[in-house]
Amino acid sequence: MSLEKERARGDNAKGILEDDLFNESFESVRANILHRWSTTGIYGGTEEREFLFLMLKAADEFKAGLVSMIDTGKLAKIQLESDKAEK
């Protein structure tokens, strides 16, 4: 992928993570999963707890993926600026 495309993807990811509606929705989903996880029964709730734990981890990985795209975009921007300065 080109440096310019990586930079643009980073900017887009940053916009998503800074969006109030995204953050409100993400935190609402995460809170709902945590609530459901904490209220599962002691007996017989093992499968449900494991499923909810995986959902929580998937949500966190999704957000971490956006952060990674931001970091990659920042590095691409630095490289683009460096390449431009060398010319």
Q: Provide the whole-model pTM.
A: 0.83
pLDDT tens column, 35-71? 999 998 888 788 999 999 999 999 999 999 999 999 9
Within 10 angstroms of residue 76's Cβ, the number of other Cβ atoms is 20
The pLDDT assigned to 83 comes to 85
Tell me the C-alpha distance between 74 and 15, whole Å.
Answer: 13
